[in-house]
Structure formats: structure tokens, C-alpha cells
Structure 1
Amino acid sequence: MNWAIALALPLAWGLDAAFGEPRNRFHPVAWLGLLLGPMGHRFSTWSPAAAFVAGAIAWLVIATALGAAAWWVQLSLLNHSPGWVALLLLGLLLKPCFAWRMLRDEVAAVENALMRGGLNPARQRLSRLVSRDVNDFGDVQIRETAIETLAENLNDSVIAPLAWFAVAGLPGAVVYRFANTADAMWGYRGRYEWAGKWAARADDLLSWWPARLTAVLLWPTLVPAAWRALRTEAARTPSPNGGWAMGAMAMRLNVRLGKTGIYLLHPAGAVPGESHVVQALDVAGRAAVTAAAGATLLWCARSLWS
């Protein structure tokens, strides 16, 4: 019955392509947000030690509960349901764990707004993708940020959950999606720093190898010097993982990407233009499809060996 897990991913991919993201009231990630938001707010009012312990315990309890539930559902479907039922339900449950269509469409919408409406509409679209202040961004900064966001979120929202699905099936994808959501809500310096420190470190750990895989998929070169250069670029960013995808994209497109006062990747590259956003979407799309195909083939191989 491993074939049902293998075919669940193409089904989920098709659902994503056809329908995109479910509405919030039907989206498990939105439900997590309703749980994590008030919880994090409460923890953030406590002392640093108490906030850290509470955040760590909450993360472990929720991750364990979600992973166990996903494992039980997957096992029950495979052992006690007709194959087509298992395939259908696993595909439906897997779909909310990744979001390629939404990421692609939102980044493309930024470029479309810039070309058709100018800076203000493009800034408004970009503000839906990033938390930084974009009110003073010009066209170069808008494009830089859009390409950076595409590359970094390609890992977080697409390749990493698919990679963990390839390793551990539905439980792997579900636990990663939770970890990334918890980091997005709690993993900030300042008010949430101690409450979200465990969540931030857990996300860094779970994203470590998928981030390197994302870099390979974005820039599939076998030249050792190129990978040494990419390692140098990735080290410029505060994140132990984000710089790999962004650096690979910058070097693949030969453009510079930066965040003012924090980092500048591939400074010798060209200033991003309209064609670079289009190229970035194409490169990211091929990387996403390759990851999905690879995860599917791995589960197909398991079904043949079992």
C-alpha cells in the first residue's frame, strides 16, 4: 500500500495547481495560527526563563500530538481502507502542507503590479509577502525582495515539506509544516524572543538539509568552486538556512540580492530587472516540480521493495 502514499503527492500537487490554498476556515495552518497566536502572546508576558520553558514544552507537545495523529491516520488508511480511499484522503491531507501555487502567484503579482500600476501597487502586493517596511522601496528593491522571498519560501513552503514527506510520509510533512508555522509566529526577536526561541531553533534544525537541497535544485552545478562561493554567500545572512536558497538564486540569475544594512548577496551581479523575476519564477518552478517528482519516485521505489 506504499503506492497510495506515492500517488498522494501527485494528487496533492494537482489540487494545489487547480485550487491553490483552502480558505482559512478550512485550512489546518490557519487553525494552528488560532492556537499559536494567543498562546505565544501569553508566554511573551512571562519572564525569559518561564517563557522559554513554556514555549519549548508547548512546541514539543503540539509537534508530538500532530505527528502521532498523522502517523495514526496514515497507518489506519493504509491498513484498513481501500487503496483509492487511502490515496484520496492522504492527498487531501498532504495538500495544506505545501503552497507552491500561492507562492508563485504572489511573486508574479508583485511584478505585474510594478509593470502595470507602478510603485505603490507593487509595494502593496509585496507587503503581503514580507514583514519588513516596503513603503520607500523603489523598483530595484521591490524586485530584489520579491526574488529573495521566492527563493527562501521555496524551501520553507515547498521543498522542505516535500523533503520531509519523502523521508517520513504524512507525519514528516505535518510536523515540518507545524515547525515552520510556529517559527513564523513566534520566532522573532524582541517581545517573542524567549517564547519563540525553541521554535526558531527547531525550525533551523528541520530546515537545515532541505535548505541545502533547495540550493542544489536551484543551481545544479557540479563545479566545486561554485559551491565554495555559494557557501561564502550563504554565510552573509543571519539565517543558517535562508542564505543557501537566496544565494543559489542570485548566482543562478547572476543578480545581486540584498536587505539594506543586513546582507548583500552576489554583489557583482546585475541589478534585478523584469526579466530576472520571470527567470526566477521559471527556475523555482522547475526546482519545485523536481522535488515533487523525486519524493514521488522515492515512495514508488519503497512500494516496489515492500
Structure 2
Amino acid sequence: MFLLAFAALVVERIIGYPDWLFRRIGHPVTWIGWLITQLDDRWNRETAEFQERRRMGVLALLVLIGAMIAISLLVETALLSVVIGPVLLVLVAATLPAQKSLDSHVDAVATALETGGIEAGRKAVAMIVGRDPEHLDEAAVCRAAIESLAENFSDGIVAPALWMGVGGLMGGAVYKAANTADSMIGHRSPRHEAFGWAAARFDDLINLPASRLTALLFAAAAFFIEGASPREAMRAVLRDAKHHRSPNAGWPEAAMAGALGIALAGPRSYGGRIIEARFMGEGGNPQLTVWHIHIALKLARIADAMLIGLFGLLALVIWLI
């Protein structure tokens, strides 16, 4: 299974998910999102009591997980029944991690700031973060892009690969569905506080190992970047990660902040509402610039290469055993 995860990471890093294919058939995340929307529309009745909506949210999560298990097992069985099945299975599995798209979206923020100024930067960063972008200055745009890189490296790359290594295509598909559910309905809003409770709690649970591994990868990657500090990365994790609103996001964000000597997280605005939050990292240089985005991308690329190497090594050890 780690061999599948290794091969999927290599393929996705090289080719990503082609735009022409997305335009023709969409993406597994869009299909999962359609199912979540159907469950939300049908089962999340605003006239129901809080506990009833919570119970229906639990049921919706179970249906989603069950559907992913059934579909992934059917796909895997069908593909492995043909000669080139293993190759096709790798191509399907390669749709689950998001190395290439994450890198390109964060790099697009840096390019927008460099070529189009602050307004272009705000539009670019709005594609990858949920906070209000209209009042962000350049430093805030850069901070938001780096935070998104750190958190989504864990959620969008390490976690699906890790669960694929543990549970094959089924493990990766279940993780991706649960993570998508959290992003769509796992909010403390009037509509989803009850119905999305199970999705949010389950996502917190299944992201625990990946967030910790991501922090270690960022710290290790700092060894290979001049001026970055593996020691400060781990110090920031031990000091600051527990103060993040999320039980998982603080680990990669604190590691990134400590490694680069910057401050991440802190207060931000969502939907016109100010969210108070602790900073991750001591922030030796709080005035972030496009250079910090580029160095953060370099750190993430090295960490990604380490992740691929780790999975390749695990696959080899398992094969030899």
C-alpha cells in the first residue's frame, strides 16, 4: 500500500491533474462535494431540533464513508482485473494528493504581487483562503499564502498519502471525502454547527498523524535552506501549536513559522467578523514580502521530496520483508 502511495505521489508531482480532464469530467473532490451537498440539502432541515440535526450529520458522514469504501473497492477490483490495472490504479490514486496544484496556487500569489501589485495579490490569495482579502496589505497577503501552504501541505498532501499507505485507495478516498466534508459543512455556523459536528470532529481525528509528520518534515527540510532553523521550527511547534484554534493546523504552521523566523496565524477577518488567534512563531521579521513566499515554497518542495523518499523507503522495506 505504501508502494501505491509512493507511486501516486510521484505521478501527481510530475503531471498533476490535467485541466482538460477537469473540464471534461471534473475531479473526485467535485464528485464528493456533489454527494455532500445532496446529503446537506435533504437531511439538514432547519426546522429540526439541534440534536436531531447532529444525529443526521453523523448518519450523513457514515453514508459518505460507506460510499467511498464501496466505490474504491469496486474501482480497485475492476482495475486489477486487467493487464495494465496497476498502472491505472496509480493514475486514479494520483488524483488524491494535491502537490502540484497547491504549489501552483501559492506561487500564483507571489507572481500576482510581483506583476500586478496588491490588488492582484488579494485576488490570487482569495482563491486559496477563506478570510476577507479586501483590506489585506502585502505582508498580510504573504502571510495568508504561507499559512495556506503550511496547512494544506498537511491536509492535501501528507494526510491523503499517509492514509493511502495505511489503507490503499480506500484509505485515501475515505480521508479525502471526510476532509472535503469538513471544508463544506464542518463550520460553526447556524446551519452547520449541529449537522457538521461529526464531520469536523472526524476530520480533526484523522488529521492528527499527518499534522505531526508535516511538522517534522518542515523541520527536517530547514536543514537544507540557508538561514532556516530546524531547532526553531521544533521550538515553535512545542510552544505555539497547542494555542491554535485547530488541534492540527498549528503544527505545520508553527513549524513553518519557526523554521523561517516569521509569525503566522494571529487575528484575521472572516465574513466581516474578526477572529482572535495567537501567532505561531516569534516573528523575527513580521513584514513579510514575496521573498518569504518563495522561501516557504522552497521549504515545502524539499519537505515533499522527503515525504516521497520516506514512502519509497517504507515500500522497499515492506517488499523486502
The alignment's TM-score, normalised by the length of structure 1, stands at 0.89
Deviation at 1:241, TM superposition (A): 0.1
Q: Which residue of 2 aligns with 1:281?
A: 297
* 1:192 counterpart = 2:226: no
Q: Which residue of 2 aligns with 1:69?
A: 71
Q: Which residue of 2 aligns with 1:81?
A: 82
| Structure 1 unaligned regions, length at least 5 | none
SS at match of 1:194: coil
Q: Which residue of 2 aligns with 1:251?
A: 258
The 5 Å alignment of 1:63-142 reads: 63-75=65-77, 77-78=79-80, 80-82=81-83, 85-142=84-141
Q: Which residue of 1 aligns with 2:271?
A: none
Separation in structure 2 between the aligned mates of residue 44 and residue 193 of structure 1, nearest angstrom: 13
User: Residues 116 and 8 from structure 1, CA distance in 2 versus in 1: closer, same or farther, beyond 3 angstroms?
Assistant: closer
Q: Is the 8 A contact 2:3 2:312 kept in 1?
A: no
Q: Is the 8 A contact 2:65 2:178 kept in 1?
A: yes
SS at match of 1:269: coil
SS at match of 1:282: helix
What RMSD in Å do the two structures reach over aligned CA positions?
2.5
Separation in structure 2 between the aligned mates of residue 39 and residue 228 of structure 1, nearest angstrom: 43
User: Residues 112 and 62 from structure 1, CA distance in 2 versus in 1: closer, same or farther, beyond 3 angstroms?
Assistant: same
User: Residues 277 and 121 from structure 1, CA distance in 2 versus in 1: closer, same or farther, beyond 3 angstroms?
Assistant: same
Of stretches 41-50 and 96-105 in structure 1, the one that deviates more from structure 2 is: 41-50
Separation in structure 2 between the aligned mates of residue 51 and residue 72 of structure 1, nearest angstrom: 31
**Aligned partner (choices 220, 223, 236) of residue 243 of structure 2:** 236
Deviation at 1:73, TM superposition (A): 3.4
SS at match of 1:23: helix
SS at match of 2:279: strand
**CA-to-partner distance for each residue in 1:191-214, whole Å, 9 max, x for gaps?**
211111100010100000110000
Q: Is the 8 A contact 2:103 2:297 kept in 1?
A: yes
* 1:293 counterpart = 2:295: no
Q: Which residue of 2 aligns with 1:204?
A: 204
Separation in structure 2 between the aligned mates of residue 44 and residue 36 of structure 1, nearest angstrom: 14
One-letter code of the match for 1:274?
V
User: Residues 216 and 138 from structure 1, CA distance in 2 versus in 1: closer, same or farther, beyond 3 angstroms?
Assistant: same
User: Residues 94 and 119 from structure 1, CA distance in 2 versus in 1: closer, same or farther, beyond 3 angstroms?
Assistant: same
Q: Is the 8 A contact 1:160 1:207 kept in 2?
A: yes
The 5 Å alignment of 1:172-183 reads: 172-183=171-182
Deviation at 1:122, TM superposition (A): 0.7
Q: Is the 8 A contact 2:186 2:193 kept in 1?
A: yes
Q: Which residue of 2 aligns with 1:266?
A: 281
One-letter code of the match for 1:55?
G
User: Residues 72 and 156 from structure 1, CA distance in 2 versus in 1: closer, same or farther, beyond 3 angstroms?
Assistant: same
| Structure 2 unaligned regions, length at least 5 | 224-229, 268-275
Q: Is the 8 A contact 2:12 2:97 kept in 1?
A: no
Q: Is the 8 A contact 1:15 1:95 kept in 2?
A: no
SS at match of 1:97: coil
Of stretches 157-166 and 220-229 in structure 1, the one that deviates more from structure 2 is: 220-229
- Paired residues in the alignment total 301
- Identity over aligned pairs, percent: 32
Separation in structure 1 between the aligned mates of residue 235 and residue 249 of structure 2, nearest angstrom: 17
* 1:146 counterpart = 2:122: no
Separation in structure 2 between the aligned mates of residue 225 and residue 12 of structure 1, nearest angstrom: 31
User: Residues 87 and 248 from structure 1, CA distance in 2 versus in 1: closer, same or farther, beyond 3 angstroms?
Assistant: same
Higher relative contact order (CA 8 A, sep 6+): 1
**CA-to-partner distance for each residue in 1:34-84, whole Å, 9 max, x for gaps?**
121242244152321111111111111221231243234335544x333xx
Greater per-residue helix proportion: 1
